[in-house]
Amino acid sequence: MHGWTGTILHIDLTAGTHTFERPSPSLYETWLGGKGLAGYYLSPDVTRRWDAPEMPLILMTGPLVGTASPTSGRCCVMSRSPLTGTIGDTSVGGTLGNQLKRAGLDGIIVRGAGTRMCGVEIVDDTVVVVDAEDLRGTDTETCAARLNGKGATALIGPAAENGVRYASIMVDSGHAAGRNGLGLVFAAKNLKYMTVKGTGKVHVLDPDGLKQAREDVFRQIAASPVLLGELGIAQYGTGALYDLMDSRRMMPTANFRETVFDRARVANAAAYKERYAPKRTGCNGCHILCKKVTAEGTHLPEFETMSHFSALLGNDDIDIVTQANALCNRMGMDTISAAVTLACHAELTGDSISGSRILSLLEDIGQARGLGVELGRGSQRYAESQGEPELAMAVKGQELPAYDPRGAYGMALAYATSTRGGCHLRAYPISHEILRKPVATDRFSFAGKARIVKIAEDANAVVDSLTACKFVFFASSLEEFAKAYSAVTGVPSTAQDLLRIGERICYHERIMNARNGFSATDDDLPKRFFAEGGSSGNAIDIKPVDRDAFLNARTNYYAVRGLDTNGRPLPAKAGELGLELHAETD
Amino acid sequence: MQKLIDKYAAKMVEAGLAEPGAPVVGGLDAELRWNRDAPECAELARLFEHLNINSLVYAEPAEPYRSIIDYLAAQDDHVQPNDSETRTFMHDLPVIDDFSAASMAAELKRHKSVIIRNRGIVTWGTVSPEQAFVFFSSACFACFVKFFSDYLYAAKQGTLTAKQTRLFESVADQLYPLPETPPTLMRGPFTNETDVYNAVIEAGRKTVEYRLVDSFFGNVSYLHDNTLYISQTGSSLDELEGCVDPCVLDGSSCAGITASSELTAHREIVLGTGRQAILHGHPKFSVTLSMYCDKYGCDRRDRCHTRCADYRAIDDVPIVPGEVGTGPHGLCHTLPPAMEGNRGVIVYGHGLFTTGQDDFNEAFSSLLSIERLCRQRYFELVGG
């Protein structure tokens, strides 16, 4: 095969065995890889509890990984989310995807559970399950240091071992598979870490065709102010968005009660640049290099983390933000969910949480001490337990990222319809509502947004299946990546062909969620956004989202997506996409 | 959606891209809507079944685009322009004969536009009819530049065909007449933000009115109080209200991340020349003539846009290589030094940049006079 290696590794931790599967080419062409193929393997078991031994934990790469295709070095991690109960997935960078491909693997599917804490070590086609009891309780940095030289690492920290619902998986130390709490699935299997080292190479059918597609993409990236512009993310990291969100008056502040942070100027990306003089770094095979590290090697926070550990909590000390980010990474927990849960607690109790209090609470969460046990359950469970469920700023139980939906209505709809709960990346309407790509749309209108969100969800499902980085699509499009895909694999394809696959992947996720009881009730936003306005000013009026307009847009989305009025899949549409509905869905 | 559909149908006419009553613009959310009930709507509606899109534009282009596109489409199944915008975003323009959804979709799956011989152009968008409008406009611009560029080369090499010459004479008569005089714009220097915004908005609107920019792109900036006020990326120069980013030059804010992709070039120009106003348009003959070079044996022949090392100029106006943005071959490296001491600079196959000391009057006047000069020189070259 070209692009794909043609091999998927199955590991049974209960039995301590492994097998290699060689799927048919048609399976790859149907699901691409990454998120699409992972969903295919998750589906038979998706109604199990997330901590059932039979529940698969899936790491899957795509056909472009390990090739010269731009920004295509990522890996998808998927299982059922312990945080939301939906399908759970997260795309992660670093070297994991590349090492998998070089080891001759498109993906790994782990089932069962060890009786003791264990690790999985892979070197090409050699797979060893080793005892890792001595690593129990270690933080991610300590654990990674102990695994030095074993290739790419994917591992968990104390947060997962202590049951934090938003526990993450850390890849190569600096890259977090953060969302949906999938670190907890590692812990449920008594799996502390995986290492992967490969020496092979990925075969490309048409290197000249790939080179042409690559040059087209590079030209577009160079023309993108958001990516390579002097104020863009190559220079400042994703934190470059910080000032923009504030100036558009949609920066979540004080647990989303306000949308402007009056001290944003001292906590923006420029402040980090001045304070830390960071170096640029990034994922394998990427020249944008959006990640920033200090001279001492400390990873600086991404935009979401910058925003939520400052504005959302009323903290203007960027050293504290940096330390909070590092602490979450060491503990192995998602920064977005952690910060929103702290903000929920602050509003609920009236306490001010800033400075060292942020750090001590994060430590308590990771170590499951005192109040940290409750906060480690996530904002929704915590707020419900306190009798104030409406104070959790979450969708389907997952905490919302740093874009206030009252400032971008496409984002409001996309938060609601996301199959993994509160997520900005499923449709990323910020691209057109704020960043003006491919063209600007009216951010305060739902007009046309249902279909825009649906198409973007399909496109991003493709990106997560190829598996590439979404940032490049601020500049480029599936038109260029279809050429790369065809050049690599030899499968004739167009942007529209890929979008059709993306549609199948998204619909499949809706089917899996429906089997677990999800419906329109869950495709909704916290009440705050319909009842309270944001921080208006500078001729920008941040009104409450009109409930009727939102519901109308959601109804339109269901129609465009081919769902029933309750947001559940329909047999005819499923059949059209080559999918089956199961008894639970019917 | 209906408002957007109607808006871009009207803009097609205002921009001279289509005759009144010609554009068909469709938009789909939960329901498909059109700007008018045209006979083509039924077939075009089927495109939405083939393609994951939310909008499309179809029209027979207005003259002279119609004749030019008909001519180019008769030559090949793909029109391959070489201007910057096409190279970067459109790649090439496929041509088909059949106005059927299946045939059109087969090409639109791979391309942003399709030319149907002797019928018109269809383009699409995934987020807004504006996208389809921009692709349509870009296709017309690219074909115009290609036709006049090809004609010049053929004229100089003695390979003109009778058909080519007949068409040239016909479309030359239909060219939009350049206004004799520039408009009177707000007088600078501007000492407060409100005046700066108004001046930038006015300059942008007039550049479009005078048809000195196509696809409504280009960009405008003004330096005031260590802040460069610059049009946003992808903004229409005739609608800059709310689309101007204040970019502080002390590096203390990234709020201008949505600024034009040419922010770096603009900044270097104002810092290097001491001039406060910059205007950038895509006037057709400046672009066309910048692509003419008679060094046929040059080993950089196919890479003029990035590799040309020769000093080239049209009279006193230099031509420099450079791609959009800040990449290794970005125009931010070539344009700013060339601007020093010159009233304007043309970037190969892309467009024209001009400056003004403290308002846009001189910049606009230069934009207009250089385009007039290029048009004049073009016809002299063709005639000679």
Q: Considering only CB atoms, which chain B residues are within 8 Å of A247?
A: 255
Q: Counting every residue, how long is chain B?
A: 384
Q: Does residue A495 sit at the B interface (CB-CB below 8 Å)?
A: yes
Q: How confident is the model at residue A583 (pLDDT cuts 50, 70, 90)?
A: low
Q: Is residue B186 in a domain?
A: no
Specify the pLDDT at position B206.
96
B232 and B357 assigned to the same domain: yes
Among the listed residues A311, A292, A151, the one whose alpha carbon sits nearest the alpha carbon of residue A246:
A311
Mean per-residue pLDDT over chain A, rounded: 96
Q: Considering only CB atoms, which chain A residues are within 8 Å of B108?
A: 496
Among the listed residues A332, A239, A219, A327, the one whose alpha carbon sits nearest the alpha carbon of residue A290:
A239
Q: Considering only CB atoms, which chain A residues are within 8 Å of B51?
A: 496
Return the half-sphere exposure (C-beta side, CA atoms, 13 A cut-off) of residue A151. 20
B93 and B123 assigned to the same domain: yes
Among the listed residues A25, A466, A490, A206, the one whose alpha carbon sits nearest the alpha carbon of residue A7:
A25
Nearest CA distance, B41 vs chain A (angstrom): 19
Q: How confident is the model at residue B216 (pLDDT cuts 50, 70, 90)?
A: low
Q: Considering only CB atoms, which chain B residues are within 8 Å of A449?
A: 29
- Tokens 């196509």 locate to B214
Is the pLDDT confidence value at B84 over 80? no
B31 and B162 assigned to the same domain: yes
pLDDT digits (tens, 9 = 90+) for B149-177: 999 999 999 999 999 999 999 999 989 89
CATH number, domain containing residue B304: 3.40.225.10
Mean per-residue pLDDT over chain B, rounded: 93
Lookup: tokens for B163: 């058909």
A 270-329: CB under 8 A from B: 270, 273
Specify the pLDDT at position A553.
97
> Which of A38-52, A215-229, A486-500 bottoms out in mean pLDDT, i.e. has the lowest?
A215-229
The Cα B197–Cα B215 span in angstroms is 22
Q: Are A346 and A313 in contact (CB under 8 A)?
A: yes
The Cα B288–Cα B349 span in angstroms is 7
Return the sign of the alpha-carbon dihedral for residues A375, A381, A385, A388. Answer: positive
B207 and B137 assigned to the same domain: no
Q: How confident is the model at residue A363 (pLDDT cuts 50, 70, 90)?
A: very high
**Which residue of chain B is at minimal alpha-carbon distance from A247?**
B255
> Which of A141-145, B118-122, B181-185, B296-300 bottoms out in mean pLDDT, i.e. has the lowest?
B296-300
A 545-584: CB under 8 A from B: 555-556, 559-560
> Which of A13-22, A191-200, A207-216, A288-297 bottoms out in mean pLDDT, i.e. has the lowest?
A288-297
CB spacing of A440 vs B234 below 8 angstroms: yes
Question: 10 Å Cβ neighbour count for B191?
Answer: 10
Q: Does residue A180 sit at the B interface (CB-CB below 8 Å)?
A: no
Which of A219, A268, A438 lies nearest to residue B131, judging by beta carbons?
A: A438
**Last residue in a domain, options B144, B173, B202:** B173
A 386-445: CB under 8 A from B: 432, 434-441
Please state the rounded mean pLDDT for residues A321-348: 98
Please state the rounded mean pLDDT for residues A140-165: 97
Among the listed residues A290, A241, A245, A293, the one whose alpha carbon sits nearest the alpha carbon of residue A270:
A241
pLDDT digits (tens, 9 = 90+) for A222-266: 888 889 888 999 999 999 999 999 999 999 999 999 999 999 999
Please state the rounded mean pLDDT for residues B316-328: 90
Which of B54, B255, B324 lies nearest to residue A452, judging by beta carbons?
A: B54
The Cα A196–Cα A530 span in angstroms is 47
Lookup: tokens for A329: 């990474």
The rounded Cα B145 to chain-centroid distance in angstroms is 10
Question: 10 Å Cβ neighbour count for A10?
Answer: 17
Query: What distances in angstroms separate CA B380 from CA B147, B154, B373, B377, B383, one per listed residue?
Result: 17, 14, 10, 5, 5
Q: Are strands B78-79 and B32-34 parallel, antiparallel or unpaired?
A: unpaired
Q: Are A495 and B110 in contact (CB under 8 A)?
A: yes
B156 and B244 assigned to the same domain: no
**Last residue in a domain, options B141, B173, B205:** B173
Residue A545: phi and psi, rounded to 5, are: -70, 130
Spell out the alpha helix ranges (H) of A65-161.
Answer: 96-102, 140-146, 158-161
**Which residue of chain B is at minimal alpha-carbon distance from A219?**
B88
- Tokens 């005892």 locate to A131
The Cα A573–Cα B213 span in angstroms is 45
Q: Does residue A203 sit at the B interface (CB-CB below 8 Å)?
A: no
Burial of residue B92, with CB atoms counted within 10 A of its CB: 0-12 exposed, 13-18 middle, 19 or more buried: middle
Q: Is residue B180 in a domain?
A: no
Q: Is residue B184 in a domain?
A: no
Q: Are A242 and A306 in contact (CB under 8 A)?
A: yes
DSSP B220: E
A194: helix, strand or coil:
strand
Lookup: tokens for A152: 């790419």
**Range list of β-strands (E), chain B:** 24-28, 32-34, 55-59, 78-79, 93-96, 113-116, 120-125, 219-224, 227-231, 244-248, 277-281, 312-314, 317-320, 344-347, 351-356
B320 and B360 assigned to the same domain: yes
Q: Does residue A513 sit at the B interface (CB-CB below 8 Å)?
A: no
Q: Considering only CB atoms, which chain A residues are within 8 Å of B110?
A: 479, 482, 494-495
Range of the domain at B330: 193-383
Q: Considering only CB atoms, which chain B residues are within 8 Å of A244?
A: 254-255, 257-258
pLDDT digits (tens, 9 = 90+) for B236-283: 999 999 899 999 999 899 988 999 989 999 999 999 999 999 999 999
Among the listed residues A304, A312, A242, the one whose alpha carbon sits nearest the alpha carbon of residue A271:
A242
CB spacing of B325 vs A224 below 8 angstroms: yes
The Cα B335–Cα B318 span in angstroms is 10
Q: Is residue B327 in a domain?
A: yes
Q: How confident is the model at residue A188 (pLDDT cuts 50, 70, 90)?
A: very high
> Which of A41-50, A192-201, A559-568, B328-337 bottoms out in mean pLDDT, i.e. has the lowest?
B328-337
Specify the pLDDT at position A419.
98
CB spacing of B323 vs A219 below 8 angstroms: yes
CB spacing of B127 vs A243 below 8 angstroms: no
The Cα A460–Cα A35 span in angstroms is 10
Tell whether domain A8-197 is in CATH 3.40.50.720: no
Among A205-214, A276-285, A471-480, name the most confident range: A205-214
Residue B234: phi and psi, rounded to 5, are: 70, 15
Specify the pLDDT at position B384.
53
Rounded to 5°, the CA angle B88-B94-B95 comes to: 150
Question: 10 Å Cβ neighbour count for B334?
Answer: 21
B139 and B197 assigned to the same domain: no
pLDDT digits (tens, 9 = 90+) for A396-406: 999 999 999 99
Which of A223, A448, A455 lies nearest to residue B27, judging by beta carbons?
A: A448
Question: 10 Å Cβ neighbour count for A141?
Answer: 14
Among the listed residues A100, A144, A155, the one whose alpha carbon sits nearest the alpha carbon of residue A123:
A100
Q: How confident is the model at residue A394 (pLDDT cuts 50, 70, 90)?
A: very high
**Which residue of chain A is at minimal alpha-carbon distance from B217?**
A439
Report how many domains make up chain B.
Answer: 2
Please state the rounded mean pLDDT for residues B139-155: 95
A391: helix, strand or coil:
helix
Q: Does residue A59 sit at the B interface (CB-CB below 8 Å)?
A: no
Q: Considering only CB atoms, which chain B residues are within 8 Å of A218?
A: 327
Spell out the alpha helix ranges (H) of A314-448.
Answer: 318-331, 335-349, 356-367, 371-375, 379-385, 409-417, 430-433
Q: Does residue A503 sit at the B interface (CB-CB below 8 Å)?
A: yes
Specify the pLDDT at position A585.
56
* Cis previous bond, A467, omega within 30: yes
B219 and B363 assigned to the same domain: yes
B138 and B260 assigned to the same domain: no
Q: Considering only CB atoms, which chain A residues are within 8 Å of B28?
A: 451
Please state the rounded mean pLDDT for residues A129-142: 98
Spell out the alpha helix ranges (H) of B83-128.
Answer: 84-85, 101-108
Among the listed residues B365, B361, B362, B343, the one whose alpha carbon sits nearest the alpha carbon of residue B353:
B343
Specify the pLDDT at position B168.
96
**Which residue of chain B is at minimal alpha-carbon distance from A222?**
B327
Q: How confident is the model at residue B307 (pLDDT cuts 50, 70, 90)?
A: confident
The larger pLDDT score, comparing residue B276 to residue B303, is at B276
Q: Considering only CB atoms, which chain A residues are within 8 Å of B30?
A: 450-451, 555-556, 559-560
The rounded Cα A406 to chain-centroid distance in angstroms is 22
Please state the rounded mean pLDDT for residues B18-33: 95
CB spacing of A225 vs B260 below 8 angstroms: yes
B110 and B226 assigned to the same domain: no
Is the pLDDT confidence value at B215 over 70? no
Burial of residue A425, with CB atoms counted within 10 A of its CB: 0-12 exposed, 13-18 middle, 19 or more buried: middle
A 437-466: CB under 8 A from B: 437-441, 447-452, 455-456, 458-459
Q: Considering only CB atoms, which chain B residues are within 8 Å of A268?
A: 252-254
Q: Report the largest interatomic distance among the alpha carbons of chain B, rounded to a whole angstrom.
A: 61
B interface test, pick of A496, A507, A561 with most B CB neighbours within 10 Å: A496
Question: 10 Å Cβ neighbour count for B37?
Answer: 7
Lookup: tokens for B80: 């391959």
Q: Does residue A527 sit at the B interface (CB-CB below 8 Å)?
A: no
* Cis previous bond, B39, omega within 30: no
Lookup: tokens for B159: 């390979």
Among the listed residues B287, B289, B269, B288, the one whose alpha carbon sits nearest the alpha carbon of residue B279:
B269
The Cα B315–Cα B369 span in angstroms is 12
Q: Considering only CB atoms, which chain B residues are within 8 Å of A437?
A: 233-234
Rounded to 5°, the CA angle B345-B349-B355 comes to: 20
Q: Is residue B283 in a domain?
A: yes
The Cα A462–Cα A372 span in angstroms is 38
B114 and B201 assigned to the same domain: no
CB spacing of A228 vs B325 below 8 angstroms: yes
**Which residue of chain B is at minimal alpha-carbon distance from A442?**
B128
B235 and B370 assigned to the same domain: yes
Please state the rounded mean pLDDT for residues A435-458: 94
Q: Does residue A538 sit at the B interface (CB-CB below 8 Å)?
A: no
Specify the pLDDT at position B309.
87
Q: Are strands A75-80 and A152-155 parallel, antiparallel or unpaired?
A: unpaired
Return the sign of the alpha-carbon dihedral for residues A253, A258, A264, A268. Answer: positive
Which of B3, B253, B260 lies nearest to residue A243, judging by beta carbons?
A: B253
Which of A449, A494, A559 lies nearest to residue B110, judging by beta carbons?
A: A494
Q: Considering only CB atoms, which chain A residues are within 8 Å of B126?
A: 438, 452, 455-456, 459
Specify the pLDDT at position B88.
73
Specify the pLDDT at position A499.
96
Which of B29, B50, B329 lies nearest to residue A448, judging by beta carbons?
A: B29
Q: Considering only CB atoms, which chain B residues are within 8 Å of A439?
A: 125, 127-128, 130-131, 134, 234
Q: How confident is the model at residue B234 (pLDDT cuts 50, 70, 90)?
A: confident
